[in-house]
Copies of this chain bind each other. A is one copy, B any other.
Amino acid sequence: MGKPVELRCVLCGASYAPGEVEYTCPKCGLDGTLDVLYDYEEAARTLTAGALAGRAPSLWRYGEILPVEGEENIPSLSVGWTPYYDCSALAEEYGVREFFVKDDGRNPTGSLKDRASAVGVARALELGQRTVACASTGNAASSLSGFAAVGRLKSFIFVPEKAPAAKVTQLLVYGATVVLVRGDYADAFRLATAAIEKYGWYNRNCAINPYLVEGKKTCALEIGEQSGWNPPDRIFISVGDGCCIGGLHKGFSDLMKMGFISRMPKITGVQAEGAKPILDAFKSGAERVMFGPADTVADSISVGAPRNWAKALRAVRETEGDMVAVSDAEILSAIPELARKTGVFGEPAGAAAFAGFRKMAGEGRLGRKERVAVVVTGNGLKDIESARKSAGSPIVSEPDIDRFSAQLERSGFPC
C-alpha cells in the first residue's frame, strides 16, 4: 500500500509533510485544499500495467498511490472497478468518434462517494480514530454510514431537519447516529464542524480532508486502465462542491506522472443552471469562485457554496476543458435517454453529465474526432421521484386479449 510524502496547497503551493497538517492549508484556510503526493518513481516499481492485470477488481488495486499503509485497515465492502461501457450507437448519433459511460452508481451504496468513504474509513482506522462524522443528506452520508458499519466505526451524520425521510432511512439502516438539526444545511454544517472539533472525530468531508479526494481519483485511474491507457479526449462529469471533478483531475495527473498515459483528457464540468458558481468563475476568468444560490432537481450538485472550488477550476483550466450548464428539464430528459441507450439508470446529478454532453454536441462544440466519456456519479434508484417526471406513461388495458390487441394495433405497436 501507499505512503504519501507531501501535502501541497492548491492555492499557495505551500508544502507540508504528512502528519504536519491533517486537513486544509493553515495559511489559506478552508479554501486551501491540499494535494496528496507520493514518490511516484518508487510507486512505479510495483504499480505496473503487468502487475495490475493480476490484481482483484477493486479500487485497492492502485494501493501504491493510495494513502493507506496497512491492508488490515481496508474496509471489506467491495468498491470501485465499476463498468466502463463503449456505446458506439451514441457516438454515431451525436457525431463524435467514440462514446463511453463510466457507471459509478454500481458502487456499494450507489455512488462515486463510496470511493472517498472507503479511503476515509481506512484512514480513520489507521489513525486509531473510533468515530467519523460529516454533514450531508446525500450520497456522502449514506456512503460514510455504510463504510463505517463494516469498519466498526461509530458515525455521526448531521442533516437539516427537512431532510427527506427516505435518505435518512438509509443512514439509520447502516447504524449511523443521525442528528436532525433544527435549521437548514448551513446550520447542520456548522454544528457538525463544532462537534467534530470538540470531540476529535474524524472529518469525512472531501473539501476539507485531502485524503478523500485520493479515493475519488480512482475513478480516473480505472478509466485510464479500462481504456487501455488511451483515455478519452474529453470527460464529462457533474460538478457540485468540486471534489469529484478534482478527483478526476488528480487521478489523471498521477497517471501522467507515472507514465501510464501521455496526455490529459479535457475535463468538462457540468453544472445545473440553478447552481453554477464554478461555471460563472470559469467563464469570467475569475481567480476565485463567488458563492451564489442553489436550486436544482439534481440534489447532489445543488451547491451554491462549493468548498473545493479551487481544485474544480484547476481541473478544467489546466486540461483545457470546458464547462456547460444544463436546465432541470434537460437533466430530467437525460435520465431515460441514458437508460434506454446505455442501460445505465442514473440519478439526476449522474445523468446531468450526459445532459451536458448532449448539449455541447447539439451546439457543435465537440469535434467529430473526439473520443468522449461521461461519468455517471450516482444510481437512479436513489431518486425514483425525479425519474418519474420524464419517464412517460403506461398503457392501461382491460384484462382481455382482444381488447388489448385492438388497442395495441390502433396505436401502431408502441415501444
Point out residues on A near B: beta carbons under 8 Å: 57, 75-78, 81, 83, 85-87, 103, 106, 108-110, 131, 146-147, 149-150, 154-156, 159, 161, 165-166, 168-170, 172-183, 187-188, 190-191, 194-195, 198, 335-336, 339-343, 345, 379-382, 384-385, 387-388, 391-401, 404-405, 413-415
Contact = CB atoms under 8 A, between A and B. Distances in A.
B381 A177 contact: no
Which secondary structure dominates where chain A touches chain B?
mixed
Nearest to A414: B177
B172 A343 contact: no
Given A109-B345, A155-B415, A339 B174 contact: yes
Contacts of A342: 150
Contacts of A166: 384-385, 388
A343 B146 contact: yes
Contacts of A339: 146, 149, 173-175
Identical subunits present: 2
Contact of A391 (B108, B155, B169): B169
Contacts of A335: 173
A388 to B, nearest CB: 4
A415 B171 CA distance: 12
A365 B406 CA distance: 57
A182 B168 CA distance: 35
Contact of A161 (B173, B183, B396): B396
A106 to B, nearest CB: 7
Contacts of A413: 154
A415 B175 contact: yes
Contacts of A379: 381
A345 B81 CA distance: 20
Nearest to A187: B399
B182 A388 contact: no
9 contacts: A77-B343, A165-B388, A172-B336, A173-B380, A175-B336, A178-B394, A182-B397, A182-B398, A191-B397
A384 B172 contact: no
